[in-house]
Amino acid sequence: MNINTLQRLLITVLLICAPSAWAVDALPSPPQLAAKSYVLMDHASGKVLVENNGDERLPPASLTKLMTAYIATLEIRKGKIGEEDLVPVSEHAWRTGGAASGGSTMFLPLNSQVKVDDLLHGIIIQSGNDASIALAEYIAGSEDAFADMMNETAERLGMKNSHFMNATGLPHPEHYSSAHDMAILARAIINEDAQHYAIYSQKDFFWNNIKQGNRNLLLYRDKTVDGLKTGHTEEAGFCLVASAVREGARMITSVFGTANESARAAETQKLLTYGFRFFETKTFYQKGAELAKAQVWKGATREVKAGLASDLSLTLPKGQLAKLQASMNLNPQLVAPIKQGDVIGSVQVKLGEEVVHSADLVALEAVEEGGFFRRLWDGIRLFFFGLFN
């Protein structure tokens, strides 16, 4: 590969070779929901497609338990707790979240011991405050310490408008989240743990001779909906974070502050209908697929394969995918050794002049250092390459 070739490492790739022969219809305005705030998110990219007051800090009520359950399943995957572990039900869990509290409860007896897996089902399906507190205490030692874990996790996930004071969502002036943040959390739950995500689609749970149904009405009305969680307090109103899959595309909705149980389902359904009706998703590049080769200096081999660390999937208004263009920019001075997964370039996808997606290109293989004379010769070439560029 000569120097002139190196200077032409900007490779433009038409994702769809022929432009669409039809004009793209104007995108209809999204529905205006009777809710305090809401977000429609594309699951594949995390892009917000529709939002109204999406970053407003509001009481999340039992949507809080999405974070409680997320941390619990993370601890299970790390091996720090086991699904068969027996968790003691403290007086705090019983008094604050039990039957006498008047809130959502799993009806855990005081001083009983309950399996982690049962508590997890009780949190997700029954929205049990007692189950949430008991599991929080088991994981972190106290509910306050668990709240610290919740806030650390929120920061890691990029939930910029969330702060948690408890594991339940019971009202507290410093306990808040946003529709956008809850959509971010839902996406993490879906992406990271398919096994436990399946619990969110269960319509009921039977424990200790008590059967309780899932309050997510969309699970009964729409077979494409497979989660996630409802919430309600007088201050928060009726809230729902939901997700659905149709024709291979997944959407996430987050709706805060509707008037009643029926309204939160109906308003959420409007967002889902709009998203699937007017947007489409396509995977252009698969994780690990070779997209280009980059020259390597001072290496045992002259080239390294470049690709993506994750699938490149995009969701756009229907008819616009055909107009996308992608450009790949490879680092012209890659010097061995190179590790598999090292960033060696970037890819940008544009719609006209707008960048709609960017991602790192990574080395799909390792390249060791070359021999002495290869390194010496390439060092000389690199010197002159830098001199004239």
Domain regions of the chain by residue span:
3-20+284-387, 37-258
How far is the C-alpha of 64 from the C-alpha of 175, rounded, in Å? Answer: 9
On the CB side of 158, CA atoms within 13 Å amount to: 7
Alpha-carbon gap, residue 344 to 307, rounded angstroms? 9
Q: Which CATH superfamily is domain 3-20+284-387 in?
A: D-Ala-D-Ala carboxypeptidase, C-terminal domain (2.60.410.10)
Q: Looking at residue 378, what is its pLDDT? A: 72
pLDDT at 386: 63
Does the annotation list 323 as a binding residue?
A: no
Q: Which are the catalytic amino acids?
A: 62, 65, 127
**Cα 222 to the chain's mean position, in Å?**
22
For position 10, what pLDDT does the model report?
Answer: 39
Residue 24 has a pLDDT of: 47
pLDDT at site 25: 59
pLDDT (0 to 100) of residue 136: 99
Helix H, strand E, coil C: the string for 200-268 is HHCCEEEECCEEEECCCCHHHHCCCEEEEEEEEECCCEEEEEEEEEECCEEEEEEEEEECCHHHHHHHH
pTM: 0.83
- Return the percent helix, strand and coil in the chain, to nearest 5: 35, 30, 35
Q: Alpha-carbon distance 156 to 91, whole Å?
A: 32
pLDDT for the residue numbered 181: 99
Residue 37 sits at φ, ψ, to 5 deg, of: -160, 155
C-alpha dihedral (52, 41, 273, 229), degrees to nearest 10: -90
Low-confidence ranges of the chain (pLDDT < 50): 1-24, 387
Please name the CATH architecture into which domain 37-258 falls. 3-Layer(aba) Sandwich (3.40)
| 3-20+284-387 matches 37-258 in fold | no
pLDDT of residue 5: 39
